[in-house]
Amino acid sequence: MTPSCPAVLSDRSPCREPLVKLNSGSPAGQTAIKKVCLSELQRGVLSVSAAVMASSPAVLMRLVASAYTVAEKAGTIVRKVLQSGELGIVEKTGANDLQTLADRLVQKSICASLSKSFPKVTIIGEEELPAEDAEEELLENGHSSLILQKSCPDQYASLKEEELVVWVDPLDGTKEYTEAARVLYSPVYIQKAEQPYINRLLDHVTVLIGIAYGGTAIAGVINQPFYNYQMGAGASLGRTLWGVLGLGAFGFQLQEVPDGKRIVTTTRSHSNKLVIDAVQAMEPHDVIRVGGAGNKIIQLVEGKASAYVFASPGCKKWDTCAPEAILHAVGGKLTDMHGNAYRYDANVKHMNSAGVLATLRNHEYYLSRVPQVVLQALPSD
């Protein structure tokens, strides 16, 4: 079995939302729960959100609320594995395709937790792990009460578990995560001189949980385990962004780049001639090279970049499902380099073969700049 790591799960992010762990079952059980909620509300002990959960929110909102707390636990695991210095790194297909103990523990935690609460949902994770029961300490059964207070968009209110597909990237930005660890635990590590470099690397790391219906990414959760890392010892680490189409996106301040600025974000470690040609064709004022698809979408919605350009088949569905849902929830767009949408059905191939082009605004402009040589080299599915 995957090694048990109780210490990994010992801390909770100070930013964590209140959790509600009430389960509504039979009609009699729901009535009893509502009575308890009313009693607690009258005493001022329980928040209104507990009563909201007792009224059986839509499956989608319950899944998102659960994914939120599961992602926060995942962030805790990612931090603790780094702190331990024992990353358990293995190469999957090469030096730029790594897997760590954090990848394995987080995927196990996410898949087992969501499967336990939503047994009919299809869950697809990046890592190929042996089928085995998860240790109890890896399970997260809570829900975000703040998410359960939100109304489900009408078009998704009647969805059933079996209609939903969840795409999981347990650690997006693994290369940057391992590089930061090597610097941190190097015998010649000089904290003051190298801390800014480590901060930048750790900003790239995210945990991604995307939810799809009918082949479309409709909801997503992104946890940034090391957000606020640059504030130093004692800072509250981590944040979780989430969004649902038709509802909006939360956990960040939506911003746009200054008018007229073309700032392109692209890969830090998977570049090639096609990627370079596509980036240059956008005539950018600036180019930001960073790791992690989740991190690049965060740059778009926080106004640090205007386009994410990756003319290569390197990304997979678990890299883009959650970020795409959040980006689309605020009016942005993610497509392949031809402008075609990716599908997230359970039976699709995992590779995003025709690259990724994502923008918050002006998607058609960037599409019009894609070189013909790129389109020919990356045929759309």
Tell me the catalytic residues.
103, 174
Compute the chain's Rg from CA coordinates.
21
Distance (Å, whole) CA 271 – CA 275: 6
Contacts 24+ apart (CB under 8 A), 278-282: 278/309, 278/310, 278/311, 278/337, 278/355, 278/370, 278/371, 278/374, 279/309, 279/311, 281/369, 281/370, 281/371, 281/374, 282/307, 282/309, 282/366, 282/369
Non-local CB neighbours of 188 within 8 Å, separated by 6+ positions: none
Tokens coding 375? 């389109």
Count of beta carbons in the 10 Å neighbourhood of residue 323? 34
Length reported for the chain = 381
The type of residue at 263 is I
Distance (Å, whole) CA 139 – CA 141: 6
DSSP state of 191: H
Query: Considering only CA atoms, which of 106, 71, 112, 108 is closest in space to residue 238?
Result: 71
Residue 22 buriedness (CB in 10 A; 0-12 / 13-18 / 19+):
middle
Distance (Å, whole) CA 177 – CA 89: 11
Residue 240 buriedness (CB in 10 A; 0-12 / 13-18 / 19+):
buried
Task: Give whole-number Cα distances, 318 to 65, 342, 359, in Å.
Answer: 19, 12, 19
Distance (Å, whole) CA 78 – CA 182: 15
Task: Give whole-number Cα distances, 28 to 36, 57, 244, in Å.
Answer: 12, 17, 32
